[in-house]
């Protein structure tokens, strides 16, 4: 199974060009995305932006299904 690498820039705290507030949040997102990509998921910038909002609690878990559906 082939996968596309994710552009993670630790120096500028970005994933696919989306800025993260700190290294811990960036690392958490990169680890989660890496696992998902390994399983066949292809992330988009919009999904990375949503993950960035979810990790610090700006978006609740119960909100994710509707938000993900809006991205499709």
Inter-residue contact 13 to 20 (CB < 8 Å): yes
Question: Looking only at Cα atoms, what is the longest distance across the chain?
Answer: 34
Overall pTM > 0.75: yes
Structure confidence at residue 48 as a pLDDT band (50, 70, 90): very high
Q: CA distances (Å), 3 to each of 36, 43, 48, 58, 72, in order?
A: 10, 11, 17, 30, 20
The mean pLDDT of the chain is 88
pLDDT, tens digit (0-9, with 9 covering 90-100), for 3-24: 677 899 999 999 999 999 999 9
Mean pLDDT, rounded, for 43-55: 90
Q: Domain residues of the chain, as ranges?
A: 8-71
CA 72 – CA 67 distance, rounded (Å) = 9
User: Mean per-residue pLDDT for 64-71?
Assistant: 79
Cα(15)–Cα(56) distance, integer angstroms: 16
């Amino acid at each position: 199974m082939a996968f596309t690498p994710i552009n993670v820039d630790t120096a500028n705290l970005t994933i696919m060009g989306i800025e993260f507030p700190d290294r811990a949040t960036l690392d958490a997102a990169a680890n989660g995305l890496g696992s998902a990509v390994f399983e066949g998921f292809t992330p988009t910038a919009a999904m990375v932006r949503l993950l960035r909002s979810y990790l610090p609690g700006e978006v609740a878990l119960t909100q994710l299904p509707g938000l993900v559906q809006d991205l499709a």
